[in-house]
Structure 1
C-alpha cells in the first residue's frame, strides 16, 4: 500500500454527518494533533499492563508503535486501529511466574500464542469471517474472557494490595469516582489518572507519615519508602530499552494459548465497530487483522515486549472525532517509538508503588472478567439451555479456582488452560450430543440480533448512533 493520503476538503474537521475516511487526512498540523490524542488514549493501559506482567514498559510502548505500523501495512490501511498491550495475557503470565518462570519464559509463551493467532488469521482469511462464530460462539467466548479476568483475583489479594492497603483502597476509590464524575475523555482515562493520583498520594505519605512497614513485591516484610526516585535520577534521557530473548516451554505455552480466544473476540468486535463507523464491509479484512495482531505479538515478544491487541480506547477517539485517517495512527506509532527510547520515563513507571497497583488492578482485573458477561448480555446467551450453562459454569470455576489436573508426573493442566478447554470442548460436545429441542434453542439464539455493542462497548454492525452523532462510548 502506498503511504499516500488524499487531503479531505480544505484539511479542516469534517462537518456534521461527514467522516474522514482511512485513505484521507486532514492538514498535517491537525493530523499530528489527532495522532497525539491517540497516544494519550492508548498510553495508560499500554504501560500499566507491562508493569503488572513484570515486563519493560519502555519496550512495550516502543513496540506498540512498531506493531501498529505492521498492522496497518498488513490490513492495507483498511482497518484504522492502534495496537497496544493486551490485558488478556495477565493471568497466564501471573501463573507462569508463580511456577518459577522468568521474563524469557513469559515472552516465549506469548510468542507461541502470537503464532497461533496468526495461524487463525490465515485460516479465517481463506475460509471467511463466519468460521470465527462457528468455532467460538459468544457463549464460549464470554466464558473464556470471564475466567481469564477473574483468575487474577488472587494476584491482587496476595501481591499488590498488602503492600499498602490504604493507598490501594484510596486509589481504587479515585478510579471509581473519576470514571463516572469526570467528563468525556477524562472519564475514559480514569485508570491512568488514578495511577498518577496514587503515586502522588504515596509520595505525600512518605513526606508526612514516613516509611511504611509492609510486604514488598517479593513478600518480604520490611520498612521502606513507598516511592524511590533513585533509579529515575540515574537513568539517561535517551537510550534503547533492554531486550529479552524468548525461551520456550510446552507447559507455559499451554497457559497462554487460551488468551488467543479473547484476542479473536477483541479483534472481531473492533473490526465490526470500525466497519460500522466507516460504513465499509470489512469482513474480508478480519483474517488480515487477526494475522496482523498475531504477527505483531510475535515481533514484540521476540525482543521481550508485551503482547498486542487492537484498542477500544482509540476506536472511541475515532467515534468522537469522526476522523478515521490512518495517517493519524502513523503519527501515533512514531510518537510511541520515540517515547520508548527514553529510559528516564521507564524508570518513572517502574517507581510506581505496589499499593497503587493494588488499587488499579482490583478494578482492571474485574473489568476484564465482566467483559465476558458483557459479551453474553449483548448476544442474548440463554443460560436456561444446559448446553450453555453446564460446560461454561464448570470451565469458569476451574479457571477462577485454579483447579489443577495432573496428567503425568511432568505435565499438568490447570487454571486458565484447563478452564478454557472444558468450556470450549464441553460446549461443542454437548451441542453434538444434546436432543433436538435443545439444539433448536441454540440455533434460535445464534440468529437473534445483538442488543448493544461488541466486546469493547462500541456499537455493532447495523447500529449507527455513535458514529452519526460523533459521540464516543465509554469502554
Structure 2
C-alpha cells in the first residue's frame, strides 16, 4: 500500500496537457540517442527509425490493451545481423530478415498463449542466453573502436586520426560522467548527453559539416524503404539463418524487461495482460519497422529507468512520446542534424553501450545464480563465447551458412539439451521463475 501512495501517475491516469507534454519529451530524450544510433551504425535512415519506433510503440500499447507502459526503440541485438544481411543482399535482405524476426515473435506469442512458458525455459535458460548476450556486445566491439579511431570506418584502407580518437574519448568521458555522477535529468539521458557534448567538441575540432543541415527543408518525407514500392521482397534461407536465432535470444531479453517493469510498476505484466501479448506487441512493432525501412524494435531499458525514477507510469505519457517521435521523423532539419554527427562521436558512445550489452549478459548469469564452477555450465558458456566472438561459421549449402552469434546461440541450445546433469547444474536458472513469486507479491 505504501508503494501505491508513492505513485505520481498510475498506468491508466492521464496528466494535464502541460505536464503530459513535458513528461513525454523526457521519455523521447531517454530513447533518442540509442534509437538513432542503431540506424546510424547499420546505414539506415534515422528519421525512419524514429517513425517506426513511435508507430511500433503505439501498436504495442494497443495490443497490450494500454496496460504496459513500455517504449519500443531500435534493437542493438540486430546490428551485426543487419550488417551481415545487407552484405549478402542489400537493405532489402535486411528488411526481409527483420520481417521474419517479427513473425518469429508472433509464433512464440501464440505458443506461449497455448502452452505456457516451460518449453521456452528449457530452450533458453540463462546459461545459454547470458553468454549469447555477451557475444552480441563483444562482437560489436571492433565496430565501436573503428568508429572511434579512424576517419573512414568500414573502408578497406583505414586512416587513423588522433583528432577522431580524442573526440571519441571525450564523448565517452562525458557519457560516463553523466551516468555516474549526475542524478537528475542528465543522469537519465547519459547517452544523449554524451552525443550532444561530443558533437559540440567535434564542431570545435572541425569534424562537423553543417551544409546539409542548412540545405535541408524543415519538413520532408523520410527515406522510407517500402516493399513492392522500392523493392521486391525475396525469401532466403541464409537470411533466416542470420536473423531468426537472434530473435530467439531477444525474446529472453524481452521477458527479463517485463519482469523488471513489473517490479517497478508493482503489477504482474507477465500474467496480465500476459507475456504473449507483450511479445506479440514487440513482433508487430518489428514488422512495422521492416515495412518502412527501419531496424527491429524492442522494449527500452532507458525508458524503464525513467519510470523507476519519476514514478510516472501513465501509458498516455508513453503514447505522447511515440507521437513526438513520429513527428520528429518528418522534420528534415533534425534528420540532417543526426546525419551530421561524426562517426567519432558515435564511436565514443558505442564503446560504453556495447560494453554494457556484454556486461548485461554477465549480469544475467549472476542474477540467476548460475554456477560456473559446474563443469557443464562452464563448457556451455565457454563454447558459446569462443564460437560467437571468434566468428566461426558453418556452410550448410552454397546459399545458407550459420555464423557468429546465430551459430553460437544454436550450439548453446543444443549443448544445454544434450549434455547430462541439466537439473543438477541449473540451480536458480529459470528466467521465468519470478513469474510465480511476483504473482504472490502483487496479490
State TM-score, norm by structure 1. Answer: 0.82
Instruction: Supply the distance in 2 between the matched residues of 1:338 and 1:292 (Cα, whole angstroms).
Output: 21
For residue 221 of structure 2, what is the aligned residue in structure 1? 240
Of 261, 279, 282, the match for 1:293: 282
Specify every segment of 5 or more residues in structure 2 that has no aligned partner in the other structure, as ranges. Answer: 152-163, 228-232
Q: For residues 168 and 77 of structure 1, do their structure 2 counterparts lie closer, same or farther at Cα, with a shift above 3 Å needed?
A: same
For residue 241 of structure 2, what is the aligned residue in structure 1? 254
Instruction: Supply the distance in 2 between the matched residues of 1:463 and 1:371 (Cα, whole angstroms).
Output: 27
**DSSP 3-state at the match of 1:257:** helix
Cα distance per residue 1:351-371 (max 9 Å; x no partner):
111111221211111111111
Instruction: Supply the distance in 2 between the matched residues of 1:50 and 1:201 (Cα, whole angstroms).
Output: 23
Instruction: Supply the distance in 2 between the matched residues of 1:27 and 1:162 (Cα, whole angstroms).
Output: 48
For residue 7 of structure 1, what is the aligned residue in structure 2? none
C-alpha root-mean-square deviation of aligned residues, in Å?
A: 2.6
Q: For residues 428 and 313 of structure 1, do their structure 2 counterparts lie closer, same or farther at Cα, with a shift above 3 Å needed?
A: same
Cα distance per residue 1:136-184 (max 9 Å; x no partner):
1111111221111111122234455322222222222222223212223
Is 1:117–2:78 an aligned residue pair? no
Instruction: Supply the distance in 2 between the matched residues of 1:397 and 1:15 (Cα, whole angstroms).
Output: 47
For residue 170 of structure 2, what is the aligned residue in structure 1? 170
Report the CA distance between 1:380 and its aligned residue.
0.6
Instruction: Supply the distance in 2 between the matched residues of 1:449 and 1:124 (Cα, whole angstroms).
Output: 12
Q: For residues 383 and 108 of structure 1, do their structure 2 counterparts lie closer, same or farther at Cα, with a shift above 3 Å needed?
A: same
| Contact 1:109–1:253, Cα closer than 8 Å, also in 2 | yes
1:218-237 matches, within 5 Å, as 226-237=207-218
**DSSP 3-state at the match of 1:445:** coil
- Number of residue equivalences: 419
Report the CA distance between 1:81 and its aligned residue.
0.7
Instruction: Supply the distance in 2 between the matched residues of 1:159 and 1:316 (Cα, whole angstroms).
Output: 28
**DSSP 3-state at the match of 1:24:** coil
| Contact 2:7–2:312, Cα closer than 8 Å, also in 1 | no
Q: For residues 462 and 363 of structure 1, do their structure 2 counterparts lie closer, same or farther at Cα, with a shift above 3 Å needed?
A: farther
Q: For residues 444 and 367 of structure 1, do their structure 2 counterparts lie closer, same or farther at Cα, with a shift above 3 Å needed?
A: closer
For residue 151 of structure 1, what is the aligned residue in structure 2? 139
| Contact 1:382–1:445, Cα closer than 8 Å, also in 2 | no
| Contact 1:266–1:310, Cα closer than 8 Å, also in 2 | no
Give the structure with the higher percent helix.
2
Instruction: Supply the distance in 2 between the matched residues of 1:361 and 1:446 (Cα, whole angstroms).
Output: 30
Q: For residues 387 and 414 of structure 1, do their structure 2 counterparts lie closer, same or farther at Cα, with a shift above 3 Å needed?
A: same
Of 270, 283, 293, the match for 1:304: 293
Of 54, 57, 62, the match for 1:68: 57
Report the CA distance between 1:204 and its aligned residue.
0.4
Of 94, 119, 129, the match for 2:83: 94
Report the CA distance between 1:301 and its aligned residue.
1.1
1:404-415 matches, within 5 Å, as 404-415=393-404
Q: For residues 269 and 443 of structure 1, do their structure 2 counterparts lie closer, same or farther at Cα, with a shift above 3 Å needed?
A: closer
Moved more, 131-140 or 324-333: 131-140
Looking at both structures, which has the greater relative contact order when contacts are Cα pairs under 8 Å and sequence separation is at least 6?
A: 2
**DSSP 3-state at the match of 2:394:** strand
State TM-score, norm by structure 2. Answer: 0.88
Specify every segment of 5 or more residues in structure 1 that has no aligned partner in the other structure, as ranges. Answer: 1-13, 207-225, 455-459, 468-475
Instruction: Supply the distance in 1 between the matched residues of 2:94 and 2:250 (Cα, whole angstroms).
Output: 17
Is 1:275–2:262 an aligned residue pair? yes
Instruction: Supply the distance in 2 between the matched residues of 1:152 and 1:379 (Cα, whole angstroms).
Output: 25
